Amino acid sequence: MRHIHLLILVSLFGGLCGCISTDDQAGSDDQGRVNVVATTVPLGHFVEMVGGDRVKVAVLVQPGTNPHTFEPSPSHMRLIEDADLYVKNGAGLEIWIDRIIRANQKMLVVDSSEGVDLIEAPGPDHNAHESILTADPHIWLSPRNAMIMTDNICDGLVRVDPSNASHYRNNLDAYQKRLRALDAELNETFPKTKLKEFVVLHPSWGYLARDYGLEQVPLLPTEKEPGPRHLASIINTAREKNISTVFADPNFNPKSAEIVANEIGGRVVPLNPLAENYLDNMRLVGEEIAASLEA
C-alpha cells in the first residue's frame, strides 16, 4: 500500500515539474523561434508561410467557431502572455483587441489589413443617411488582399526578429508568386462565366466578388436569421437569374440555405472561408463559384 502511494506521489510531482519547466521556457522556445498568435486559421497559415521554421504559431478562433461572435477565454489570454507577435485581421473583426493589447504590452501587434482597400459590409436595409460605415472584415478571401496581408506579416516578423530578415523575405517572395498565379487563374476564369451573381449564406465573399467582377447575394447579411420577406426576395432573384446553387458556410446554421435551395430546386454547396490550406481552398472556391455561374 505504502509503495503505491509513494509511486503516485512521485509521478504527480514528476508531472507537475514537467508542467512548470515547460511554462518557464515559453516566450522564446528552446529553438529560439518567434511566438506568434494570430486571430484566424488562414492568418496563422500566412504566418507559417512567411515564417517557415523560425515561427511557432497559435490561432485563437478554432475551426467551427463563428469569428464574428468569438470572445477570447482565459486560456486564450495565456497564449497572448507568451507571444512576441500578434497578427490581427483588422478591418473591425477583433472588437476585443484592447484586451489582447493590455494582456501583453511588450508584444508587437500587426494589423494585417493595413493598406487593404476596404469595402462596406453588406447590411440588411441600408439607410442612405447613415454616416457610420462598417468595413467588410473578410479581407483574406481575395488573393490580391492576401499579398498585402503577407507583406504586413513579413514586416512584423522582420521587426521582432531582424537577424532572420532575409529568411522571411525569401519565403514571402516564394509565397506571393503562388498568390499571383492564383490571382491570374481566377482572372481567367470569372470573366468568361455567364452569370455574375451568386447566392451565399454568410457574406464572406465581398472582396473576391469585387476583384473579379462578381456579386454576392447574401441570405444572412447580419448575424440574425433572415425574415420571410428577405428569403422571398432572394428566392425571386435566384429564379429571375436562373441561379441553382446556394453556398453555405460550415461555421453557420445551413437552415435558410436549405430553404432557398428547396424553393428554387437547387443545391447547397459548402464553401469554407476559414480553411487552413489557403491556395487549395481558394482554387476550390473559384471552381465551385464559376461552375454555379455557368449552370
- The residues that touch Zn ion, with contacts defined as CB under 5 A, are 204
Of 116, 86, 113, give the one whose Cα is nearest residue 102.
Answer: 86
Q: From the CB of 23, what's the least distance to Zn ion, in Å?
A: 34
Q: From the CB of 10, what's the least distance to Zn ion, in Å?
A: 50
Contact 39, 88 (CB under 8 A): yes
Rank residues 111 and 136 by Cβ distance to Zn ion and give the closer one.
Answer: 136
Q: From the CB of 193, what's the least distance to Zn ion, in Å?
A: 24
d(CA 121, CA 218): 11
Host H or E run for residue 57: strand 55-59
Rank residues 204 and 245 by Cβ distance to Zn ion and give the closer one.
Answer: 204
Q: From the CB of 204, what's the least distance to Zn ion, in Å?
A: 5
Q: Which three cell numbers stand for residue 77?
A: 489570454
Q: From the CB of 93, what's the least distance to Zn ion, in Å?
A: 8
Q: From the CB of 203, what's the least distance to Zn ion, in Å?
A: 7
Rank residues 112 and 204 by Cβ distance to Zn ion and give the closer one.
Answer: 204
For the beta carbon of residue 154, count every other beta carbon within 10 angstroms: 24
Rank residues 59 and 157 by Cβ distance to Zn ion and give the closer one.
Answer: 59
Rank residues 83 and 146 by Cβ distance to Zn ion and give the closer one.
Answer: 146
d(CA 216, CA 197): 6
Contact 217, 198 (CB under 8 A): yes
Q: From the CB of 66, what's the least distance to Zn ion, in Å?
A: 7
Detail the DSSP E strand segments found in 73-181.
85-88, 108-111
- Cα dihedral value 57, 62, 63, 66, nearest 10: -130
Rank residues 35 and 204 by Cβ distance to Zn ion and give the closer one.
Answer: 204
Mapping DSSP to helix (H, G, I), strand (E, B) and coil, where does residue 127 land? Answer: coil
Rank residues 50 and 61 by Cβ distance to Zn ion and give the closer one.
Answer: 61
DSSP string covering 199-267:
EESS---HHHHHHTT-EEEES-SSSSPPPHHHHHHHHHHHHHHT--EEEE-TTS--HHHHHHHHHHT-E
Which DSSP letter does residue 195 get? -
Residue nearest to Zn ion (CB): 204
